[in-house]
Structure 1
Amino acid sequence: MKLRPKNTSFTKSQRKKRFLVDLDSSKICSVNKLTFGSMGLMLLEDSFIQAKHFKIAYDFLKKNISKRGLFWILKFPDQSFTKKPLGSRIGKGKGNVAFWAIFVNKGNVFIEIESDSYQKSILLLKKLEKRFPFSGKIISN
């Protein structure tokens, strides 16, 4: 699984503006629908999802889902975040890339699952939700 973009024009980018809009149910109806699977994990709060969280989700689902089951991770970490070394002084340019992440607003579907067992897919999504730093909600068709 890719955890960063393959080619970027500039690896060190400026932070994007985060438009923290209070999304009520009338505005998020087009965002929180499932497109591929029958069940999904929807975010209930705005959060940064780092590449390590994508890796955790991919490894967990790859290990625990049956051979007939499918899963889709719908987001991708395309924003780089830099950090200066701890002992360095002020100045001398921007720091090295520390991690890749993406900012996701609440109401977006993060993971979708198609499985033969309804109960097993609910159990998988509940276990997976505990491994993330954000709260989520399990939705189904």
Structure 2
Amino acid sequence: MLQPKRTKFRKFQKGRIKGIISNTTHLKFGQFGLKALESGRIPARTIEAVRRIITRKFKRMGQIWIRIFPDISVSSKPAEVRMGKGKGSPSFWVCRVKKGQILFEMDGISFQLAKQASILAYYKLPLKTKFITRD
């Protein structure tokens, strides 16, 4: 699974996901892509699940670019632990995704195959997404 080798801080605050990042709204590498239509957090295990589904659908043809990286740790306390006594330990990694951001890019395959792969990926992702092509 994806996670950073090292970070400046072990634990992060939740924060809010607002606005649009201008440098991640257009296709840069592939012919087809998957674009987020809403903001949210995507866990590292979900990114890996989507990557597996797309590679299986392509049958090892074509190429995939993952344009997101889970760099924020989410901490959680164990079950049935009383309140207080500090913040819990880091349990998994997430990626903050803004509205309009490109999540995955694909190339070297037909339009139909890319469309089918993006539909399968849509079912796994916790956000609404849209299949886009290079204009």
Tell me if TM exceeds 0.5: yes
CA contact (8 A) 2:57 2:113 kept: no
Map 1:1-141 → 2, pairs under 5 A: 2-15=1-14, 17-21=15-19, 31-141=24-134
| 1:82-125: CA deviation from partner (whole Å, max 9, x where unpaired) | 01112111222221112110211110000000023111111111
- Gaps spanning 5+ residues in structure 1: where? none
RMSD (Å) for aligned C-alpha atoms:
1.8
Amino acid across the alignment from 1:77: P
Q: Determine if contact 2:17/2:97 at 8 Å carries over to the other structure.
A: no
The structure with more helix, counted as a fraction of residues: 2
Q: Residue by residue, what CA displacement relative to the aligned partner does 1:14-59 show, whole Å, maximum 9, x if unpaired?
A: 33x32523x6xxx95x532100000000000111111111111121
TM norm structure 1:
0.85
- Write the distance in 2 (CA, Å) between the matches of 1:105 and 1:14: 17
Q: What letter is aligned with 1:20?
A: K
Pick which of 70-79 and 96-105 moved more. 96-105
Number of equivalences: 134
Structure 1 residues 57 and 124, CA gap change in structure 2 (3 angstroms): same
Q: Identity, % of aligned pairs?
A: 32
Give TM-score, length-normalised by structure 2: 0.89
Structure-2 separation of matches of 1:69 and 1:85 = 42
SS class of match (1:41): strand
Amino acid corresponding to residue 59 of structure 1 in structure 2: R
